[in-house]
Amino acid sequence: MIVAALLGTWRLKSYIVTTVGERRTPYGENPTGYLSYSANGRMQVIAAASDRIVPVDTGSPDHEKIALYDTMFAYAGTYSVEGDKVIHHVDISWNESWTGTHQIRLFEVSGNTLTLTTRITDPVSGSEAHYAVVWEKVASL
């Protein structure tokens, strides 16, 4: 099922991770990125932190490459909707462990704002974390 309210391109506004007693913005206060949902059931997303390093040249040392990898995410595939859940069926990803997975997000559309949320075990703290990613519509289909 396709939900018309999801269709189009969305610009990343915020990415907030909340765990017991802690609120983090792992991509900074002004992350950048885009998320697109098409009418034919395809989706793609790319996002990056607001304070990424700028490598000196294309032959960057490993620590710079790691910092760049750790401050972005990108994947694409198909999507489906079940009630208030959008499921991203990942075909390709910046992190190969996501390729072939189904990323389930609760979604809420309010005007020109899309909020995607999920609860998972935080890889940093090991405790349950609530992820809230807010997008603003920039183009409709």
48-71 confidence digits (pLDDT tens): 999 888 887 777 788 888 888 889
Supply the pLDDT for residue 53.
84
Q: Which helix (H) or strand (E) holds 70?
A: helix 62-70
pTM to 2 decimal places: 0.89
Supply the pLDDT for residue 122.
66
Topology of domain 4-139 in CATH is Lipocalin (2.40.128)
Supply the pLDDT for residue 126.
76
* pLDDT beneath 70, residues of the chain: 1, 122-125, 141
Q: Answer for the pair 68, 55: CB distance below 8 angstroms, yes or no.
A: yes
Tokens, residue 132: 């809230």
Supply the pLDDT for residue 117.
97
Torsional sign, CA 102, 14, 131, 4: negative
8-state DSSP, 5: G
